[in-house]
Amino acid sequence: MTKGFLPITYEEMNALGWERPDFVYVCGDAYVDHPSFGASIITRVLDAAGFRVAFLAQPDYKSCEEFKKFGRPRLGFLVSAGNIDSMVAHYTAAKKKRSSDYYSPGGKAGKRPDRATIVYCNRIREAYGDVPIIIGGLEASLRRFAHYDYWADNIRRSILVDSRADILTYGMGENIILRIATLLDRGIPVKKIRDVRGTVYLCAPEDKIHYPVAASFDYNELKTNKRKYAEAFGVQYKNQDSINGKAIVEYYDGKMLVQNPPMPPLEREELDRVYSLPYMRTYHPSYEKEGGVPAIEEVRFSLTHNRGCFGACNFCALAFHQGRTVRSRSIESVVEEAKKITEMPDFKGYIHDVGGPTANFRYPACEKQLRDGVCSARKCLSPTPCKNLIADHTEYIKLLEAIEALPKVKKVFVRSGIRFDYLLADSDDGFFKKLVRDNVSGQLKVAPEHCSSAVLRCMGKPDFSVYQKFRKRYFELCDEVGKEQYLVPYLMSSHPGSTLADALELALCLKRDHYAPEQVQDYYPTPGTASTVMFYTGINPLDMKPVYVATDYHEKQLQRALLQYNRPQNAPLVREALRKLGREDLIGYGAECLVRPERDSAPRPKSAPRQDKASGRSKTNVKQNAPRGDRSRGGKQSAKQPSGKSQSHSKPKQRSKR
Q: Tell me, what's the pLDDT at 394?
A: 98
CB-count burial class (<10 Å; 0-12, 13-18, 19+) for 274: buried
> Residue 612 above 70 pLDDT?
no
Predicted confidence at residue 648, as pLDDT, reads 34
Q: Is the pLDDT of residue 604 over 90?
A: no
In this structure, the number of other CB atoms found within 10 A of the CB of residue 609 comes to: 10
pLDDT for res 542: 95
pLDDT confidence of residue 262: 97
Q: Which residues of 107-127 are buried (b: 16+ CB within 10 A; e: fewer)?
A: beeebbbebbbbbbbbbbbeb
pLDDT at 649 over 80: no
Average pLDDT of span 253-274: 97
* Res. 226: pLDDT tops 60: yes
Distance, CA of 317 to CA of 314 (rounded, Å): 8
Does residue 11 carry a pLDDT above 50? yes
The pLDDT confidence band at residue 603, using thresholds 50, 70 and 90, is: low
Contact indicator for 27, 84 with CB cutoff of 8 Å: no
Q: What is the DSSP-derived secondary structure letter of residue 605?
A: P
Residue 654 has pLDDT above 70, yes or no: no
CATH number of 443-526+546-622: 3.30.750.200
For the stretch 329-378, pLDDT in tens is 999 999 999 999 999 999 999 999 999 999 999 999 999 999 999 998 89
Q: Do domains 301-441+632-658 and 443-526+546-622 have the same CATH topology?
A: yes
How far apart CA 362 and CA 426 sit, in angstroms, is: 13
Instruction: Kindly tell me if the per-residue pLDDT of 620 is higher than 50.
Output: no
Q: How confident is the model at residue 185 (pLDDT cuts 50, 70, 90)?
A: very high
**pLDDT per residue as tens digits for the range 85-128:** 999 999 999 999 999 999 999 999 999 999 999 999 999 999 99
**647 falls in which pLDDT band (50, 70, 90)?**
very low
* Residue boundaries of the structural domains of the chain: 10-196, 301-441+632-658, 443-526+546-622
pLDDT of residue 417: 86
Residue 629: the pLDDT is 40
pLDDT of residue 519: 80
- What pTM did the predictor assign? 0.90
> Which tens digit of pLDDT belongs to each residue from 49-78?
999 999 999 999 999 999 999 999 999 999
Q: What are phi and psi of 178, to 5 degrees?
A: -65, -40
Distance CA 390, CA 410 (A): 32
pLDDT of residue 600: 62
Q: Are 301 and 350 in contact (CB under 8 A)?
A: yes
Class of 301-441+632-658 in CATH: alpha beta
User: pLDDT band for position 626 (50/70/90)?
Assistant: very low
Please, how many CA atoms are within 13 Å of residue 178, restricted to the half-sphere of its CB? Answer: 18
What does 227-271 look like in DSSP terms, one character per residue? HHHHHHHHHHHTT--TTT--EEEEEETTEEEEEPPPPPPP-HHHH
Kindly tell me if the per-residue pLDDT of 454 is higher than 90. yes
pLDDT band at 599 (very low <50, low <70, confident <90, very high): confident
pLDDT mean across residues, the chain: 91
Class of the CATH domain delimited by 10-196: alpha beta
Q: Is the pLDDT at 646 greater than 70, yes or no?
A: no
CB 335 within 8 A of CB 350: no
**Percentage of the chain exceeding pLDDT 90:** 88
Output the pLDDT for position 376: 86
- Give the span between the Cα atoms of 196 and 180, in whole angstroms: 7
Q: How confident is the model at residue 639 (pLDDT cuts 50, 70, 90)?
A: very low
H helices of 238-379, in order, are: 268-275, 295-299, 318-321, 331-342, 367-372
- 383 upstream amide cis, omega within 30 of 0: yes
> How many residues are given for the chain?
658
Q: For residue 633, give the nearest of 271, 116, 364 by alpha carbon.
A: 271
Q: What does the pLDDT average to over 241-264?
A: 97
Rounded mean pLDDT, 640-652: 34
pLDDT band at 516 (very low <50, low <70, confident <90, very high): confident
